[in-house]
Amino acid sequence: FDSREGVIWYDGEFVDWKDAKVHVLTHGLHYGSSVFEGVRAYGGEIFKLKEHTDRLIESARILGFKIPYTADEINAACKEILQRMKLTDAYLRPVAWRGSEMMGVSAQNNTIHLAIAAWEWPSYFKPEERLKGIRLDMAEYRRPDEKTAPSKSKAAGLYMICTISKHAAEAKGYADAMMLDYRGYVAEATGANIFFVKDGVIHTPIADCFLNGITRQTVIELAKRRGFEVLERHIMPEELSTFTECFLTGTAAEVTPVSEIGPYTFVPGEITKTLMDDYTAEVTPKASAAAAE
Ligand code: PMP
C-alpha cells in the first residue's frame, strides 16, 4: 500500500505517495495517540464530508489534542486530494497523530500531524451477490465503557481489539465478528454498526459505548422516511434467535446483509433490500442520478 503512485496531503502539502512517512519514534505509533476517519466519495462527491471532519476533530478533542487545521481547511484538503488523484468513486482516509519530539506517556508539546490519503474504491452495490449475506463469528473481546476507554472517539487504539477479533473470525472462515459491549449487550461488528428486524420493526443497539456511525444515522433516517419503526435499545445476544433479518452499516460496509451470527441465521428480506436501495440513492449525487435516467 505504501508504494502506490500519486500524492498524499501531509501537513498542508502534497507529498509523493511513497514519501509520506513518519519517524519510528512517533508518539502515535507507541502510545496510540492517533485518530482517523473513513470517508467515501461517490460520483466525485464526498458523502457527508462535514460530519466526518467534525467527528475527526471531536475524536482528537476526546484524546486531548487539537488538530491544527479548521474544519473548512480539512474539507478543502479532502476535495483537493480527490481532484489531484483524479478520483470519483473513492475512499478517503484522514489521520491525525502526535509526533515524535518527546518519547514517553506525556507528550504535551509534540507536533500534531494530519495526513489525508485517497484511493479508488468503486461502490460494492451488486445487490444479488450481496443479498446472500455475510457470516459473523462472536468476538471474545468486548467494547469498553466510556470510563475505560475513549469509546466515542474514532481512535486508532480502539481498533486493536477489532483487528484481533476480525483476524480470529477470519481464521475460522467468517467474514467478520460481532462484538458485545462491557455489559454483555450486542454492540457492533469490528468496523460497522449492526441492525436487526423482527415483525417489520427495526432494532439496533444504543450507541453509548461505540461509534454512532454516520451511516447508522443515515439509515435510521431513511428507515423513518419509509415509515418503519426503529427501536434503539439494549439487545441481549440470546435475542438473536428472534430476529429474521440482520445487516451492518458503515462507510465501507454501506448496508451489508448478514446471513449468520454464530448459531443464528437470518434471511435478508424486504426491509434490508429497501434500505440497501435507499442508501444507494442517498449517496448517489443528484446530477449523476439524473443523467443515468
Ligand atoms: N463502528 C466501527 C468500529 C467503525 O469502524 C465504523 C466505521 N467508521 C462504524 C462503526 C460505522 O461508522 P460510519 O458509519 O460513520 O462509517
- The answer, yes or no, to whether ipTM is higher than 0.95 is yes
Q: Is the CB of 210 under 6 A from ligand 1?
A: yes
Q: Is the CB of 284 under 6 A from ligand 1?
A: no
Quote the DSSP letter at residue 132: T
CA of 213 to the centre of ligand 1 (A): 5
State the catalytic residues: 154
pLDDT at 289: 63
Is the pLDDT at 276 greater than 90? The verdict is: yes
pLDDT at 128: 77
CA of 209 to the centre of ligand 1 (A): 12
Q: From the CB of residue 236, how many other CB atoms can be counted at a distance below 10 Å? A: 11
Q: Is the CB of 278 under 6 A from ligand 1?
A: no
pLDDT at 288: 64
- Model pTM? 0.96
Please state the φ and ψ torsions of residue 273, each to the nearest 5 degrees: -65, -45
Is the pLDDT at 293 greater than 60? The verdict is: no
First to last CA, the chain: 37
Is the pLDDT at 112 greater than 90? The verdict is: yes
Mean pLDDT of 81-88: 97
User: Which uninterrupted H or E stretch holds 55?
Assistant: helix 49-62
**Tens-digit pLDDT profile for residues 209-264:** 999 999 999 999 999 999 999 999 999 999 999 999 999 999 999 999 999 999 99
Q: Domains of the chain (ranges plus CATH)?
A: 7-120 (3.30.470.10), 127-283 (3.20.10.10)
Ligand 1 pocket mutation pick from 40, 121, 193, 204 by most atoms within 8 angstroms of CB: 193
Mean pLDDT of 91-113: 96
Is the pLDDT at 291 greater than 70? The verdict is: no
Four-point Cα dihedral 229, 233, 234, 239, nearest 10: -10
Is the pLDDT at 290 greater than 90? The verdict is: no
Q: Please report, rounded to a whole number, the percentage of residues in the chain having pLDDT higher than 70.
A: 97
Q: Is the CB of 192 under 6 A from ligand 1?
A: yes
**Tens-digit pLDDT profile for residues 38-79:** 999 999 999 999 999 999 999 999 999 999 999 999 999 999
Mean pLDDT of 17-36: 97
pLDDT at 78: 98
Mean pLDDT of 172-187: 98
CA of 193 to the centre of ligand 1 (A): 6
